[in-house]
Amino acid sequence: PGRGRGKVTVRYDRRELRKRLHLEEWILAQLTALYDCREEEIPELEIDVDELLDMESDGARSARVQEILVDCYKPTEAFVGDLLEKIRGMQKLNTPQKK
């Protein structure tokens, strides 16, 4: 008693969060297909969307994702192309938006 409730002063753009969640779910589904395994058996990989968004070109992004997937025995070109298409126009989530 006697303590006031705090207010949230910084919010993330919910639409961007939703897009990011859908993208991460899509990436997981694609990786399970590429590695032909269940989700929990996927090798320890980190595809950092914010890192990709920081890169200057699609060529650099593509090279980075190919580097991450170097031990995948299936062709990864379609996945990489689709991933680059999906992140085009996305915003980084590192910095919350002030409302």
Q: What residue spans define the domains of the chain?
A: 14-89
Give the per-residue pLDDT at 28.
93
| DSSP annotation of 39 | G
90 touches 26 (CB < 8 A): no
- For the domain spanning 14-89, the CATH number is 1.10.150.220
Give the per-residue pLDDT at 24.
94
- Tens-digit pLDDT profile for residues 42-98: 888 899 999 999 999 999 999 999 999 999 999 999 999 999 999 998 888 755 555
At 58 the three-state DSSP class reads helix
Give CA–CA dist 18/14, Å, rounded. Answer: 6
Give the per-residue pLDDT at 26.
96
Res. 38 pLDDT band, cuts 50 70 90: confident
